[in-house]
């Protein structure tokens, strides 16, 4: 009987506590596909973020500051970017320099791989 009361007490006690949620930080689109004619993509990026508590936060592209917000829990930001390589975007606390969240835009190539060298003989099994 004592054991079941303890279990009920612990379940009631801990139900009021929730695990800290991680910040949400998304960018759209997430992928840039470069063509044979261009080695870059011009993208209209849309960022959306949400934190657990009000905070000052800044958005960075690599190490370049794009936008800051003061005492916000969520936000969104539109940005025109020319992307050539995988690019990392970060949400950082401007006072402490602490990384809150990060996301990235990947680059994929539509180029056909030309002049591939064959590493084995066509008759080899290995």
Whole-Å CA distances, 81 to 22, 28, 57:
27, 12, 20
Query: Which runs of consecutive H residues, i.e. helices, occur in the chain?
Result: 2-15
**pLDDT value at 98 more than 90:** yes
Q: Judge whether 67 lies within some domain.
A: yes
Q: Judge whether 3 lies within some domain.
A: no
Q: Give pTM, 2 decimals.
A: 0.69
Q: Judge whether 54 lies within some domain.
A: yes
Number of domains composing the chain: 1
Q: Judge whether 119 lies within some domain.
A: no
Whole-Å CA distances, 23 to 26, 27, 85, 94, 118:
10, 14, 25, 16, 47
pLDDT classification of 38: cutoffs 50, 70, 90: confident
Dihedral sign of CA atoms 38, 40, 44, 46 in order: positive
Which CATH number goes with the domain that contains 80?
2.60.40
What are the phi and psi torsion angles at 12 (to 5°)? -70, -45
- Pairing state of beta strands 31-34 and 99-109? parallel
Q: Judge whether 26 lies within some domain.
A: yes
CA-to-CA distance for 72 and 118, rounded, in angstroms?
A: 56
- Are the beta carbons of 86 and 105 closer than 8 angstroms? yes
Q: What is the pLDDT of residue 65?
A: 96
State which residues form the domain around 91: 20-107
Average pLDDT, the chain: 79
Q: Judge whether 31 lies within some domain.
A: yes
């Amino acid at each position: 009987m004592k054991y079941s009361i303890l279990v009920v007490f612990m379940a009631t006690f801990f139900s009021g506590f929730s695990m800290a949620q991680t910040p949400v930080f998304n960018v759209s689109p997430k992928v840039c596909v470069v063509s044979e004619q261009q080695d870059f993509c011009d993208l209209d990026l849309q960022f959306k973020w949400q934190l657990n508590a009000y905070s000052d936060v800044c958005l960075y592209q690599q190490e370049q500051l794009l936008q800051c917000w003061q005492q916000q829990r969520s936000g969104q930001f539109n940005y025109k970017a020319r992307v050539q390589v995988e690019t990392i975007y970060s949400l950082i606390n401007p006072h402490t320099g602490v990384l809150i969240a990060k996301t990235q835009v990947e680059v994929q190539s539509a180029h056909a791989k030309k002049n591939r060298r064959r590493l084995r003989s066509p008759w080899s099994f290995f």
